[in-house]
Amino acid sequence: MNQLAAPASLSAPAQNVPRSALAKISWKFGLKSLEKLACLLLFFALWEFLPRAGIVSAAFLSPPSDVFAAIVKLVQTDQLNKHIIASLQRSLAGLTLAVFFGVGLGLMMGVVRRFEAFVDPLLQLFRQVSALALFPVFLLFFGIGEASKIAIIFWAAFWPVLLNTISGVKQVEKLLIHSALSMGASRQFIFFKVILPAAAPSIFTGIRLAGAYSITALVAAEMIGSHAGLGFLTLNSQEIFQIPSMYAGIVLLAVLGLALNYVLALLEKRLTRWRSGLEFHE
């Protein structure tokens, strides 16, 4: 009986250690969350105070309460879903094309050096041209329909995916590749089991940047020929001087960008789950 009781008494202190460590982690996490929340509350309080106090004209800077009322009005009139769905369809279409072509071309350029040397001068020339500068060209080729809007978003989102993919492939440890070759691994095996997983973090960094660019490019994409979308809402509200609705569009674009970034971060965490084990052992 004594022999059975001893392990139980020894296990009690062992359980107390992780609980205290967990409490410290929870306290630090809660403190950081409060700091972030306090910063946001201070920002919105200052934003509300400046136009209410007359320091800044409310005609140019609507207080957050008026912006929130404009968002509620959009919900009540069933306009919010229409604008969000239109913007999401355009941004996701452009982002999907950018990921497909950016990752594909980036992997090819990172692996085949002669191909990179051949294509790089042309890409270096094109990457200096912004999506806004090509806006008239896209309108000439694709018209004022959805194709030109998706093309603008694609162009803005393509470059971070491409450049981060190339960088990720080039930064793969040569020792890993040589070790796999020395064990008789085929080049196809090395590409899918060594190069692609090692480059995945950099690729996902490019995709998350591209997600942010796809949202910011919405305003430019929805400048002409649009009847729905958050970018259209922002620009149209500014033209008819509905300033609270204009700021509502800006706030909703920011929220949409944060939501897209959160989804992409979850996807990255799920697809690169193997990295957590490496970080734990480090």
Domains of the chain by residue range: 64-272
At 274, the pLDDT band (50, 70, 90 cuts) reads: low
Interior/surface letters 228-245, b for 16+ CB within 10 angstroms, e for the rest: bbbbbbbbbbeeeebbbb
pTM of the predicted protein model: 0.80
Query: Which pLDDT belongs to residue 281?
Result: 45
Based on the number of CB atoms within 10 Å of its own CB, is 138 exposed (0-12), middle (13-18) or buried (19 or more)?
A: buried
Query: Which pLDDT belongs to residue 24?
Result: 58
Does 174 or 10 have the greater pLDDT score? Answer: 174
Token pair for residue 28? 């630090």
Token pair for residue 67? 């912006």
Does 72 or 174 have the greater pLDDT score? Answer: 72
pLDDT at 57 over 90: no
CA distances from 200 to 151, 244, 259, 266 (A): 26, 42, 21, 14
Distance CA 182, CA 180 (A): 5
Token pair for residue 169? 């492939």
Q: Please give the mean pLDDT across all residues of the chain.
A: 83
Token pair for residue 217? 């490019």
- Which tens digit of pLDDT belongs to each residue from 183-199? 877 778 778 888 888 88
At a CB cut-off of 8 Å and minimum separation 6, what does 75 contact?
none
Class of 64-272 per CATH?
Answer: mainly alpha
